[in-house]
Every structure is written in structure tokens, then in C-alpha cells.
């Protein structure tokens, strides 16, 4: 009889300690981004930072608005989070943030948008942008119908320059290649919708001068704002229908768009 072989099996249990996820500290993050925004010093009008609460269609709207880049927007958001104890009822919240985009962590110098995006992600709160960009195709189409495609294109090129989407270099001015490419893009958008334009009229508006800039702004600015706000109002209704359980809504926008949320609203 063969001698039985004794086999000893050693089981090694490796205990892996998984560190607990660090809770999101919205106050510390607010101060970190506030400091960074101050150092960037892009807020040319620091007095334009407002926070108010209105009731809209049975929802609580916490409206943060003013001049973009203002670091005070960050602190105003943090104050809303603390006062409303947002961490205890995140399922009831919705963020409507001008300029926010899905799956983006880079908001350049818009630290107030970055703060809202980070907070929404940390608390798993849906965040959307209902305000069309200044040069969204639907905005261009309506503006072209209102003032003519040539003026609309010229105005939006100037808008690009104002907000820094066309590079400005000291001693050289605005990048001519970017101006040309942006203009061609708008022309193609008009062509796609069969919106007529005359290239000679468009060429006559260039090069840009202070006088032409002022004239185009006077003719287009208010109309442009009305178009964007009307589209945003329609988007707001559709968005609220998709989030029926969101009774608390944080809104961030430029002051030109605050009227969207004041319509049929009751101030508290």
C-alpha cells in the first residue's frame, strides 16, 4: 500500500484595505477656486455678482448671476449649498449652468462654471445648459433674418473677439486667420439653410473699425439677446418636464439672461 502523501494547502488571505472615499468639501473647494479666480484677475466688474431666490412653476430657483469670471459667484453658490443643506437632499436638485458642457473638466477661466460642474459631479446632480451659445446655429439663423446675414455674421465675428475666441496678441492685434476662418464658418451655416447673403456687402464691413463695431453693436445687441433668451425659455420648459422631481434649481448665468427665470416668478 502506497504511503499516503500528506498535502498541506496553505491559503493566504490578502486583506486589501480600500480607503474610504473622501467626502466632497464644497467650502474648501469654493475657497480654492475663489483664490485662483482672484489671481487670474479677469473679473473687470467685481461689483456685478448677485444672488436671489425666486419661485418659478412651483420650483425654488436659486439664481446666481452677474458678470462672468467674477469669483464672488463661487462664494454665492457655496452659501446656497450651505443654507439649503444640499448634501442631505441632492435628489431634489437640478443645476442649470450657462456654459456647462457634458464630460468637460476644462472651463478655462470660468471658475464659477468649474465649481458648479465639480459640485454637480460630486453629488451626482444633473447639470445642463439651456442657454444657447452666442453663435449657435439657431441664433445665427434668427439674427440673420432680423438684421440681414451680412450684419449678423459681422456682429458674431466681433462677439468672438470680445469673448476671446479669436486670439489677440499685443502689438499684432487679432489673428487674421482666425477671423477669416470664423467668417467662412458662419457663411457656410447660412448657405446650409439657404439664407441669402451678398459677399460684397459682407466684405464692405471689413476691416473692423471702432465706428463699424459700435454701429453693429447698436443694431444687433438687443435683438441677439432677445433671440437667445427666447430659445432658452423654450429649453427651460422642456428641461423642467424632464426633471419633475427637481424642486430646487441652482441657476448660474450672465445678468442678461436672468430675465428668463424672473418671468412669471415670485421673489422671496
User: pLDDT per residue over 78-89, tens digit each?
Assistant: 999 999 999 999
| Cell 466684405 -> residue | 203
Q: Please state the rounded mean pLDDT for residues 15-22.
A: 52
Has residue 8 got a pLDDT over 50?
no
49 strand-pairing partners: 66
Using one digit for the tens of pLDDT, what is the confidence trace for 89-98? 999 999 999 9
Distance of CA 129 to the CA centre of its chain: 6
Q: Cβ–Cβ contacts within 10 Å for residue 16, how many? A: 4
Using one digit for the tens of pLDDT, what is the confidence trace for 205-249? 888 888 988 999 999 999 999 999 999 999 999 999 999 999 999
213-220 CB contacts, 8 Å cutoff, 24+ apart: 213/158, 216/151, 216/154, 216/155, 216/158, 217/155, 217/158, 219/147, 219/151, 219/155, 220/143, 220/147, 220/151, 220/152, 220/155
Cα atoms in the Cβ-side hemisphere of radius 13 Å centred on 262: 11
Return the pLDDT at 40.
79
The answer to which of 80-84, 169-173, 178-182 has the lowest mean pLDDT is 169-173
207 prior amide bond cis, ω within 30: yes
Has residue 108 got a pLDDT over 80?
no
54 strand-pairing partners: 61, 267
Query: pLDDT-derived band of residue 266, with 50, 70 and 90 as boundaries?
Result: low
The full DSSP string for 32-79 is HHHHHHHHHT--S-TT-EEEEEEEETTEEEEEEEESTT-THHHHHHHH
Q: Cβ–Cβ contacts within 10 Å for residue 175, how many? A: 15
Return the pLDDT at 21.
55
| Cell 471702432 -> residue | 210
Return the pLDDT at 243.
97
Has residue 145 got a pLDDT over 60?
yes
Domain spans of the chain, in order of start: 26-126+243-267, 137-227
Nearest alpha carbon to residue 69 among 26, 40, 102, 100? 40
Question: Rounded CA gap, 227 and 222, in Å?
Answer: 9
Query: What percent of the chain has pLDDT above 70?
Result: 86
Query: pLDDT-derived band of residue 2, with 50, 70 and 90 as boundaries?
Result: very low
Nearest alpha carbon to residue 225 among 159, 161, 162? 159
The answer to which of 85-99, 121-135, 168-182 has the lowest mean pLDDT is 168-182
- Cβ atoms of 91 and 245 closer than 8 Å: yes
In this prediction the pTM is 0.85
Query: What percent of the chain has pLDDT above 90?
Result: 68
Its sign, for the CA torsion 192, 163, 223, 48, is: positive
Q: What is the mean pLDDT of the chain?
A: 87
Amino acid at each position: 500500500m502506497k504511503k499516503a502523501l500528506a498535502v498541506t494547502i496553505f491559503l493566504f488571505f490578502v486583506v486589501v484595505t480600500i480607503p474610504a472615499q473622501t467626502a466632497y468639501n464644497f467650502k474648501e473647494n469654493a475657497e480654492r477656486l475663489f483664490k485662483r479666480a482672484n489671481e487670474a484677475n479677469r473679473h473687470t466688474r467685481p461689483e456685478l455678482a448677485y444672488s436671489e431666490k425666486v419661485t418659478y412653476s412651483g420650483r425654488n430657483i436659486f439664481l446666481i448671476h452677474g458678470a462672468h469670471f467674477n469669483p464672488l459667484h463661487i462664494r454665492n453658490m457655496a452659501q446656497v449649498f450651505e443654507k439649503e443643506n444640499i448634501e442631505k437632499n441632492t435628489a431634489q436638485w437640478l443645476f442649470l449652468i450657462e456654459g456647462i458642457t457634458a464630460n468637460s473638466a476644462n472651463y478655462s477661466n470660468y471658475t464659477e462654471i468649474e465649481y458648479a460642474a465639480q459640485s454637480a459631479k460630486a453629488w451626482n446632480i444633473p447639470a445642463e445648459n439651456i442657454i444657447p451659445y452666442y453663435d449657435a446655429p439657431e441664433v445665427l439663423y434668427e439674427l440673420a433674418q432680423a438684421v440681414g446675414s451680412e450684419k449678423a455674421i459681422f456682429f458674431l465675428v466681433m462677439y468672438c473677439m470680445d469673448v476671446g475666441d479669436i486670439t489677440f496678441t499685443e502689438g499684432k492685434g487679432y489673428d487674421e486667420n482666425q477671423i477669416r476662418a470664423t467668417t467662412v464658418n458662419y457663411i457656410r451655416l447660412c448657405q446650409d439653410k439657404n439664407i441669402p447673403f451678398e459677399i460684397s456687402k459682407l466684405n464692405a464691413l471689413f476691416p473692423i473699425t471702432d465706428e463699424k463695431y459700435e454701429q453693429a453693436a447698436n443694431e444687433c445687441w438687443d435683438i441677439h439677446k432677445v433671440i437667445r433668451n427666447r430659445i432658452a425659455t423654450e429649453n427651460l420648459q422642456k428641461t423642467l418636464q424632464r426633471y419633475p422631481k427637481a424642486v430646487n434649481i441652482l441657476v448660474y448665468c450672465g445678468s442678461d439672461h436672468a430675465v428668463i427665470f424672473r418671468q412669471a416668478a415670485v421673489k422671496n
